[in-house]
Amino acid sequence: MRTVLFACVHNAGRSQIAAAFFDAIADPAKARAISAGTEPGPSVHPEVVAAMGEVGIDLGSGRPRLLTPELASQAQILVTMGCGDACPVVPGTRVLDWPLEDPKGRPMARVREIRDEIRERVAKLVDQHGWSR
């Protein structure tokens, strides 16, 4: 079982979207996703909840959590999305940086574009590693 950690600043947008798509398309016997942020927000951004609801994924009960070295140590792959130097470095963990715009406060059309770009990146990652359902 492999673990992929998706990390962003507030764990209220990009990383929540990525982890939700990952868990929706990856075989849970092969890989799982976790997400966290360097400065967790109080809740998942409402525009993110709405955009994900449009594709049948409910993030309304999602809660941002703090990215700690202990949490990062569970992952074999760390995907960073804008946390920069605040993201932990874990020896032996493969790090991928996805430069994605924060969806917070963006118009819904832009939030959908960010959501769809994340879905494409996640699908490619899952496919590359043979983790598809």
What pLDDT is recorded for position 90? 72
Q: Which residue has the higher pLDDT, 84 or 17?
A: 17
Task: Express each pLDDT in 93-123 by its tens digit.
Answer: 899 999 999 999 999 999 999 999 999 999 9
C-alpha radius of gyration, the chain, whole number:
13
Query: Are 63 and 36 a contacting pair, CB within 8 Å?
Result: no
SS3 content of the chain, % helix, strand, coil (to 5): 35, 20, 45
Neighbours of 110 (CB within 10 A): 14
* For the chain, domain boundaries: 2-129
User: Which pLDDT does position 88 carry in this prediction?
Assistant: 67
Instruction: Look at residue 69 in the predicted model and tell me its pLDDT.
Output: 85
> Which of 118, 117, 116, 108 lies closest to 50, judged by CA?
108
What residues does 34 pair with on adjacent strands? 5
**So what's the pLDDT on residue 113?**
98
- Tell which CATH architecture fits domain 2-129: 3-Layer(aba) Sandwich (3.40)
Contact 37, 50 (CB under 8 A): no
- pLDDT (tens digit per residue) in 116-125: 999 999 999 9
- pLDDT tens digits along 43-88: 999 999 999 999 999 999 999 999 988 888 899 999 999 877 777 6
